Amino acid sequence: MIKKIQIDDIVLLLSPDNKTFMVNIKEGKSFSSHLGMLDLTQAIGKSWGETIQSNLGNEFILMEPTVEDKLMKVRRLTQIVYPKDAALIIFKTGIRSGMKVIETGVGSGALTIALANSVAPEGKIYSYEKREEFIKNAADNIRYAGLIDYVEFFNRDARDGFDQTDVDVAIIDLPSPWYGIPSAYESLRGGGRIASISPTYNQVERSVQCMEDTGFVNIETLELILRNYQVKQGKTRPRDRMVGHTGFLTFARKAIAS
């Protein structure tokens, strides 16, 4: 049985010119686009992949948002962690359903959405953030993405330590990653993995030194560069513009002194 779209569902609308809009379906609600007004009531009872029409006769396709869509549509107070980086962090740290993960700081909650999506329904993200306004905005974003049940917030500086022990993974996204690395070591189980995200090489150099001093091993630093392509018959090429840099990623595992 394929699920039909219902009231309160979040839908990604795909326009004829390949733009996407994330909307919450409500009885009688409408959405105003560059291609006309859409009565969202039309969506109720439709299947994913079907279309609704704007008052100007343009067809919009009803798409189920992926975790990438949810991450990209957050309200941003900060630079966000991009899908390419979120995906590799989750993969390389081995995050999966049921795990306990510490994250600091929360930023705009974009990475938190990806992490929560991966640990649901049995796992939990413990998110430490010292700026209360960031927690408030991130919580709104995560709630809208339908993942708030898998996230617990702590309004605290990473230097003051984390309440959890034996967590599987710790993610450090701080201007001073070395504030969070020793606390992460304390909270991780043996063999637990850490990932750190930083835009500058100075942060990376000091983070790696801190990880070595703290007892982490198998330390690896890398960067992902994403290239988009224009694919058209006879005119296929890399696109003109690209994001030049998001951040360096550093990964390691916790060893236990014998």
Site for a second copy in 203-232 (CB under 8 A): 204-205, 208-209, 217-229, 231-232
Q: Nearest approach, Cβ of 134 to a second copy (angstroms)?
A: 21
Q: Nearest approach, Cβ of 165 to a second copy (angstroms)?
A: 10
Cβ–Cβ < 8 Å for 33, 21: yes
Does 55 interact with a second copy (rule: CB under 8 A)?
no
Does 117 interact with a second copy (rule: CB under 8 A)?
yes
Q: Nearest approach, Cβ of 35 to a second copy (angstroms)?
A: 15
Does 202 interact with a second copy (rule: CB under 8 A)?
yes
**Separation of alpha carbons 54 and 187, rounded Å:** 52
Pick from 62, 80, 151, 172 the residue near a second copy by CB under 8 A.
62
Choice between 1 and 133, CB closer to a second copy: 1
Query: What is the sign of the dihedral through the CA atoms of 239, 241, 242 and 244?
Result: positive
Pairing of strands 10-14, 20-24: antiparallel
Q: Which run of H or E residues covers position 134?
A: helix 132-144
Amino acid at the residue 51: T
Strand partners, 154: 128
Does 56 interact with a second copy (rule: CB under 8 A)?
no
Structure tokens of 58?
Answer: 């343009």
Does 233 interact with a second copy (rule: CB under 8 A)?
yes
Choice between 106 and 114, CB closer to a second copy: 114
Does 44 interact with a second copy (rule: CB under 8 A)?
no
Cβ–Cβ < 8 Å for 122, 128: no
Pick from 192, 194, 195, 210 the residue near a second copy by CB under 8 A.
192
Q: Nearest approach, Cβ of 235 to a second copy (angstroms)?
A: 5
Cis before residue 105, ω within 30 degrees of 0?
Answer: yes
